């Protein structure tokens, strides 16, 4: 290993002030706060109005929040010269746009640090504001604006997308109760096995029109490149996809198919519970005690769970629950079969059985059968489009739940969408070279 070469300590270089065209001339460290006195490196003594020469009139100080060092909030005191033109009398200050945009309160280096803290370290805006020693609104406005400029508004982030997922997401903590947003997920990395899925975009509302308008706003060549759209059972998403992406294949992913079967199992269990006991499930009721075991795949059941299931179905009062449970297990097994052709055949057999000659009492299975029959092409398309699932979409929804909890909720939908994109938009490798 080569021996490092050392140079004379330089506060300007250490604090990255040279990238801001500044030179550090002094420091003041009091308690937990550090102040660095600086001066611009470039003179600015020519009038932009008439081209005349300016003479120094006085000096002023511009304060900028800077990236913290040693857990100390660091502030730059930039001493600027004010000039007066000898020709036209115009007065101006030295240009410091290299250090920060006009009227900004945070230096460009501080803003870069804040954006990395938000995207890579998942810090909250409150923590970032505290480390910068600025108000929450100042930090939030500056970081979100920089995130939009550098990351969200980058048109190249929509490139290379061929598989998308669409789902709804609950936007809570609003004054008027829960509201919904539609989330678009890029599933292309999952289908190619290269990297995790990423959040592509979010729109307020959940309807066919919301998804349709979003697709219509995309360039035609982008829409032509979409091969697969993974979605849940909401028919509005399917209709919008069919109208705007006629060449794409709609896939109803396994997560939602199994969830539909699981919901049917829960509904029949609750109905039989009421019919046999006259009340909702209680701790000692056999149906209530087995509610989680019923949702476990047969190949994963322990000996104790198998005995519980056998004892439960020994009661003839629970026959409808047993039939629905068997259908649920067949659907789960179809997705777990290694041979996709065999899995497709098994699931097609289940769908056909649910739509022919079912006993009238199995209302939950009849309803499930109608849904699966109507979306049979989308359900079975999964077996010919390997790797297409909305499971990663649900995973990103979980990350957004965590974000909302960390922020103690969002009332501003614009801020919520921007924060969600920065949280789950796959931007970490862009800001962190070691993650590429």
Grade residue 184 by pLDDT with cuts at 50, 70 and 90.
Answer: very high
Taking all residues of the chain, what is their mean pLDDT, rounded to a whole number?
Answer: 89
pLDDT (average), residues 277-291: 90
User: What does the pLDDT look like over 335-345, one tens digit per residue?
Assistant: 999 898 999 99
In the three-class reduction of DSSP (H, G, I as helix; E, B as strand; rest coil), residue 331 is classed as: helix
User: What does the pLDDT look like over 117-171, one tens digit per residue?
Assistant: 999 999 999 999 999 999 999 999 999 999 999 999 998 899 989 999 898 888 7
Candidates 232, 219, 212, 159; CA nearest to 189 is 159
Grade residue 321 by pLDDT with cuts at 50, 70 and 90.
Answer: very high
In the predicted model, is pLDDT for residue 217 greater than 50? yes
Tally of CB atoms within 10 A around 346: 17
In the predicted model, is pLDDT for residue 423 greater than 80? yes
In the predicted model, is pLDDT for residue 174 greater than 60? no
Tally of CB atoms within 10 A around 100: 23
Rounded percentage of the chain residues whose pLDDT exceeds 70: 97
What does each C-alpha distance from 270 to 18, 267, 290, 321 come to in angstroms?
A: 69, 5, 12, 10
Q: Are strands 22-30 and 54-69 parallel, antiparallel or unpaired?
A: unpaired
What pTM does this model have?
0.81
User: What does the pLDDT look like over 292-308, one tens digit per residue?
Assistant: 999 999 889 999 999 99
**Considering all CA atoms of the chain, what is the largest pairwise distance in Å, rounded to the nearest integer?**
103
Grade residue 405 by pLDDT with cuts at 50, 70 and 90.
Answer: confident
User: What does the pLDDT look like over 40-96, one tens digit per residue?
Assistant: 999 898 998 898 999 999 999 999 999 998 889 999 999 999 999 998 999 999 999
Most confident of 47-51, 188-192, 260-264: 260-264
pLDDT recorded at residue 253: 83
pLDDT (average), residues 26-51: 91
Grade residue 206 by pLDDT with cuts at 50, 70 and 90.
Answer: confident
Q: Are strands 163-171 and 198-204 parallel, antiparallel or unpaired?
A: unpaired
User: What does the pLDDT look like over 85-126, one tens digit per residue?
Assistant: 998 999 999 999 999 999 999 999 999 999 999 999 999 999
pLDDT recorded at residue 177: 67
pLDDT recorded at residue 436: 46
- 55 strand-pairing partners: 84
Tally of CB atoms within 10 A around 174: 14
């Amino acid at each position: 290993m080569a021996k490092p070469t050392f140079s004379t300590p330089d506060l300007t270089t250490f604090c990255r002030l040279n990238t801001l065209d500044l030179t550090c001339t002094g420091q003041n460290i009091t308690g937990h706060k550090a102040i660095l006195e600086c001066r611009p490196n470039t003179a600015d003594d020519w009038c932009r109005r008439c081209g005349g020469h300016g003479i120094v009139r006085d000096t002023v100080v511009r304060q900028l929040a800077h990236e913290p060092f040693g857990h100390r909030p660091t502030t730059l005191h930039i001493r600027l010269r004010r000039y007066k033109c000898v020709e036209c009398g115009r007065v101006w200050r030295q240009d410091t746009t290299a250090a920060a945009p006009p009227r900004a309160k945070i230096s460009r280096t501080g803003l870069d640090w804040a954006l990395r803290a938000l995207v890579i370290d998942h810090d909250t805006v409150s923590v970032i504001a505290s480390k910068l020693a600025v108000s929450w609104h100042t930090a939030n406005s500056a970081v979100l604006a920089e995130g939009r400029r550098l990351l969200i508004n980058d048109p190249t982030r929509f490139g290379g997308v061929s598989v998308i997922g669409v789902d709804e997401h609950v936007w809570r903590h609003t004054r008027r109760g829960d509201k919904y947003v539609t989330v678009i997920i890029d599933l292309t990395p999952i289908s190619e096995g290269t990297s995790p899925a990423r959040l592509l975009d979010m729109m307020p509302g959940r309807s066919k029109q919301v998804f349709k308008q979003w697709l219509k706003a995309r360039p035609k060549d982008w829409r032509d490149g979409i091969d697969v759209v993974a979605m849940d059972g909401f028919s509005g998403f399917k209709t919008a996809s069919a109208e705007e992406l006629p060449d794409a294949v709609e896939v109803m992913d396994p997560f939602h198919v199994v969830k539909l079967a699981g919901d049917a199992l829960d509904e029949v269990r609750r109905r039989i519970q009421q019919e046999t006991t006259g009340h909702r499930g209680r701790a000692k009721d056999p149906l209530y005690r087995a509610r989680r075991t019923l949702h476990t795949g047969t190949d994963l059941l322990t000996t104790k769970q198998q005995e519980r299931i056998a004892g439960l179905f020994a009661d003839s009062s629970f026959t409808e629950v047993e039939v629905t449970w068997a259908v649920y297990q067949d659907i789960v097994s179809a997705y777990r079969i290694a041979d996709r052709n065999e899995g497709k055949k098994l699931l097609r057999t289940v769908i056909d059985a649910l739509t022919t000659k079912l006993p009238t009492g199995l209302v939950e299975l009849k309803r499930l059968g109608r849904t699966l029959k109507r979306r049979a092409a989308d359900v079975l398309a999964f077996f010919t489009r390997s790797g297409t699932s909305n499971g990663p979409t649900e995973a990103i929804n979980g990350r957004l739940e965590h974000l909302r909890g960390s922020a103690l909720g969002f009332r501003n939908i614009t801020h919520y969408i921007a924060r969600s994109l920065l949280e789950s938009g796959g931007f970490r490798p862009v800001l962190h070279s070691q993650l590429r």
